[in-house]
Structure 1
């Protein structure tokens, strides 16, 4: 990159960093959209951590791991399609990112709870596909 281009971008970095949103008191649509996106990212991060823990426990069970991967891919496709449908009434509007992110956050948190259940299986529980730690 050309040094002048980098210098031109420098003020934008400071403006973005200086505009930290107080999500507890967000009042503009842009701020609410940003906060909803942050909530989804936090839920998705937790989901990915749990998913990795389960895949580690399934390392000696390639068939079960393959089933988990398939289930997770299907779940992601469902989540995305469901949230597109859920937010379709406001598509193109400024509130769309908020509605969509709230939906993805809600469904992701539900999936997080399901994965947590798999990680708490009792030894000998034949209805649980994930071995204990």
Structure 2
């Protein structure tokens, strides 16, 4: 499930794009705020890609659970969709709030991206726990 909410769109627009001829930023040694912002956003992008892959696996596992159940017991797919939608709303609100530590400043995108990466990594771990419980 790939959702690009308004916060994500604003973050993309606020993150400066690297020109093709500019050298790649060494995130392990980044010191300038624009580089730190870029590196934090890259970390979020990587976490989001991993989350999307694990979510697809979790959806397959939920579909399998529903196939094994009957009648009123079916609902793993809908439960997964519901929790993911609720989590996205929580993540976006929480990370917008995190940005207020430097509201309007150069570090705001870094704080938002860092929050997005951290919460996305935690959600991926939760989905992996679901997969493990299903024997995957």
* TM exceeding 0.5: yes
Match of 2:38 in 1: 34
Aligned mates of 1:15, 1:55 — CA distance in 2: 37
Alignment partner of 1:91 out of 103, 111, 117 = 103
Question: Equivalent residue for 1:57?
Answer: 61
Once the two structures are overlaid, the 10-residue window that deviates more, 50-59 or 32-41, is: 50-59
- Count of residue correspondences: 112
Aligned pairs (5 A) from 1:1-133? 15-60=19-64, 61=66, 63-121=75-133, 131-133=134-136
Structure 2 segments unaligned to the other structure (5+ residues): 1-17, 67-73
- 72-81 or 59-68: bigger deviation: 59-68
- SS of the aligned residue for 1:25 comes to coil
Q: Quote the Cα distance in structure 2 between the aligned partners of 1:35 and 1:85.
A: 20
Please, what TM-score do these two structures have when normalized by structure 1?
Answer: 0.77
Could you tell me which runs of 5 or more consecutive residues in structure 1 were left unpaired when the two chains were aligned.
1-13, 122-130
Aligned 8 A contact 2:33 2:107 in 1? yes
TM-score between the two structures when normalised by the length of structure 2: 0.75
RMSD: 1.9
